[in-house]
């Protein structure tokens, strides 16, 4: 990763000089020009971009993905990371790069428990992570806040202010981090309970605190996925999106076994206390729908449960516009990116791959595991992880500030912090520009969403699930 992060060599220069260099960057890339968004005359049709992306996914599940995206402009943005990546590639950048989330919208922030059991707030999705210009994550986050604000019924000015306050919070946090040591930066984390206590809206603070307590209790009960009434713990089906795939069971188990075999000795000792008892297929997210994802239930002889998730990793949507990733396995790319950006990463993070044949996949679009690359992690409590989106519903202004602060901390772990702080400055120029871009791109997203909905009406793309995934997979197998 050293070659992927120029900030690492630049950081050997005293921070006062790097801060001055950041100020100089304003001449080549004026902060006011960060507001500009002008679609290229050669801009690709957004529906065509989504269709091309869908060609590499499980076609039986694409109607689920498209139906979720059709709900609103914000829902469309969540699934259209590839569209925005192509657009961001043509925008102004000042030069500094960071380990980028790649799909930085407000619903990809959330909570999870640290190794000590403390709920922390952070970015929680890294499927698209790559080293990229620092502005890209900020602009995508700002756009999502404007769209969410509009969806919540806010006036245009109030929706714009969400993006402005987020960007200002980002700049202030970067200024706070700039003079402290790299070790201190890497140790910084956001305690969720403390962050909630700092919310300005008292009503939102009270609602969010009770919501967090309920979510933590859900996490202790394995999220309702485990049935223990039959003696040995088993995963429960919730058709059509959580189903058993008997024909893929062996391949999933083999991929899990390969993951375990490549773990470091200390992790292997812990995992040796558990045996894989059950596996199940699960449809996840909005942007991830159509990728292969399964849950493995591991248990001890005393029926103590560990849930691990194996999730397909495809090439990042940012990849066509950046230097090639140094990792051959896309799962490793995701894992390394997450470890760089998160203060308290999952101890079970790892990667693996399957060795099946891919030919039938491309022709039938069934749920065959095929030749895929995966990352592995502890199963996210979706209700706890999604708590960020629910925070947003009760207190968007406070949430915007928290997301800006959180993104700055995530970027600071790989960034040349002093240079960034110098470029951003202490005024409102950068924040105002991000607000302007966010409003303009929110308008673009709404137009793209309308074109997308029109494509559904004409039948160009379908939102009708023809059969449950498990049935389609079985029928395709019988035909072959």
Instruction: List, for residues 29-78, the tens digit of each pLDDT value.
Output: 999 999 999 999 999 999 999 999 999 888 888 999 999 999 999 999 99
pLDDT for residue 388: 62
Q: What is the mean pLDDT of residues 414-425?
A: 97
| Residue 478 confidence class, pLDDT cut points 50, 70, 90 | very low
Q: Which letter, b or e, does each residue of 81-99 get, where b requires 16 or more Cβ atoms within 10 Å of its Cβ?
A: bbbbbbbbbebbbbbbbbb
pTM reported for the whole predicted model: 0.90
pLDDT of residue 113 exceeding 90:
no
Q: What is the mean pLDDT of residues 399-406?
A: 94
Higher pLDDT, 410 or 56: 410
Quote the longest CA-to-CA distance of the chain: 69
The residues that bridge with 242 in the sheet, in sequence order, are 238, 282
Higher pLDDT, 196 or 18: 18
Q: Is the Cβ–Cβ distance between 233 and 299 less than 8 Å?
A: yes
pLDDT for residue 475: 39
**Per-chain mean pLDDT for the chain:** 87
pLDDT for residue 356: 56
Three-class secondary structure of residue 303 per DSSP: coil
pLDDT tens digits along 5-23: 555 556 678 999 999 999 9
Identify the H or E element spanning 98.
strand 97-100
pLDDT of residue 216 exceeding 90:
no
pLDDT for residue 384: 60
| Residue 274 confidence class, pLDDT cut points 50, 70, 90 | very high
Cα→Cα distances 425→24, 176, 282, 355, Å = 11, 12, 45, 51
pLDDT of residue 219 exceeding 50:
yes
pLDDT of residue 225 exceeding 50:
yes
pLDDT of residue 337 exceeding 90:
yes
pLDDT of residue 151 exceeding 80:
yes
């Amino acid at each position: 990763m050293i070659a992927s992060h120029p900030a690492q060599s630049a950081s050997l220069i005293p921070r006062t000089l790097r801060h001055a260099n950041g100020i100089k960057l304003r001449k080549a890339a004026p902060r006011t020009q960060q507001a500009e968004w002008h679609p290229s005359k050669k801009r690709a049709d957004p529906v065509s971009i989504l269709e091309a992306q869908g060609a590499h996914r499980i076609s039986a599940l694409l109607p689920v993905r498209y139906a979720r995206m059709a709900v609103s402009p914000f829902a469309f943005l969540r699934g259209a990371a590839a569209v925005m990546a192509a657009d961001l590639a043509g925008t102004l950048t000042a030069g500094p790069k960071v380990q980028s989330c790649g799909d930085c919208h407000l619903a990809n922030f959330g909570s999870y428990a640290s190794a000590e059991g403390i709920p922390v707030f952070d970015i929680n999705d890294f499927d698209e992570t790559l080293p990229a210009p620092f502005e890209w994550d900020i602009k995508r986050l700002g756009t999502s806040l404007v769209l969410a604000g509009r969806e919540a019924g806010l006036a245009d000015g109030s929706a714009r202010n969400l993006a402005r306050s987020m960007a200002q919070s980002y700049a202030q946090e970067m200024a706070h981090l700039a003079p402290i040591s790299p070790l201190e930066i890497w140790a910084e984390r956001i305690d969720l309970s403390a962050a909630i206590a700092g919310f300005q809206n008292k009503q939102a603070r009270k609602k969010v605190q009770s919501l967090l307590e309920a979510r933590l209790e859900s996490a202790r009960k394995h999220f309702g996925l485990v049935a223990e009434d039959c003696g040995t713990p088993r995963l429960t089906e919730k058709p059509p999106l959580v189903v058993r795939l008997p024909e893929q069971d062996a391949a999933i188990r083999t991929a899990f076994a390969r993951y375990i075999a490549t773990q470091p000795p200390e992790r292997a000792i812990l995992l040796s206390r558990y045996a894989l008892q059950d596996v199940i297929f699960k449809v996840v997210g909005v942007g991830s729908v159509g990728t292969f994802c399964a849950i493995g239930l591991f248990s001890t002889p005393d029926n103590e449960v560990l849930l691990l998730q194996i999730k397909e990793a495809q090439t990042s949507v940012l990849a066509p516009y950046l230097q090639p990733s140094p990792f051959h396995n896309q799962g490793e790319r995701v894992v390394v990116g997450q470890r760089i950006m998160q203060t308290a990463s999952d101890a079970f993070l790892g990667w693996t791959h399957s060795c099946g044949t891919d030919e039938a996949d491309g022709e039938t679009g069934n749920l065959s595991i095929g030749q895929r690359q995966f990352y592995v992690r502890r199963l996210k409590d979706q209700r706890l992880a999604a708590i960020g989106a629910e925070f947003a519903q009760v207190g968007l202004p406070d949430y915007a500030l928290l997301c800006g602060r959180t993104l700055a901390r995530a970027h600071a772990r790989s960034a040349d912090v002093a240079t960034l702080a110098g470029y951003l400055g202490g005024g409102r120029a950068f924040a105002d520009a991000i607000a302007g871009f966010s409003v303009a791109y929110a308008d673009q997203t709404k137009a793209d969403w309308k074109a997308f909905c029109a494509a559904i009406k004409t039948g160009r793309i379908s939102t009708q699930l023809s059969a449950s995934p498990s049935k389609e997979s079985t029928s395709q197998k019988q035909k072959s």
